[in-house]
Amino acid sequence: MGKIEDLQVINGEGYQLSSLEKVIASARANSVWPLPFATSCCGIEYMATMGSNYDLARFGMERMSFSPRQADLLIVAGTISKKLAPVLKQVYEQMAEPKWVLSVGACASSGGIFDTYSVLQGIDRVIPVDVYVPGCPPRPEQIIDGIMKIHEMVKHESLRRRYSDEYKSLLNSYNIESNEE
């Protein structure tokens, strides 16, 4: 059976047809469970997104997961020291597929103003990053914009992308073993 290209959503009275892939993508995007890995001032700005002024719960993210095995979005906010880098990598490896990473702030993205021997100059040196949020520290609106970009990625990602050779080679470049064989 071949793949049907350019499948349209058909609406009618009492029914709606779509592809299973689009339904799953929509369900994934509207029920992301974030794991905050927050240090420094960016962590405080991230906490503000959960307050009533910004209400991150409207994106289906009211449940914070502090267990990597139950999360699918790793939000790294703040300065990551080189001693903390192996812990961050371990948390990423413990997350189940599919998983996404949001790098919040200048320190997580590039080391920020801390160009020292002890600060990791960007978390993308140890784990792959999907979306970067700039700023020092970024405003909650910027963090929400980054989360919305993650949601768009989730909605448009193929269900088979995580099994592709390209994805496996990406993980291998970070010395992370793929769970799928």
Q: Which two tokens stand for residue 83?
A: 């001693």
Domains belonging to the chain, first-starting first, are 33-173 (3.40.50.12280)
What is the tens place of the pLDDT at every residue in 9-25?
Answer: 666 666 666 778 888 88
Span 103-153, pLDDT tens digits: 999 999 998 888 888 999 999 999 999 999 999 989 999 999 999 999 999
Alpha-helical (H) ranges within the chain are: 20-29, 40-48, 85-94, 105-110, 140-156, 165-173
Position 6 pLDDT exceeds 60: no
Round to whole Å and give the CA distance between 179 and 176.
9
CA angle 105, 118, 178 (to 5 degrees): 70
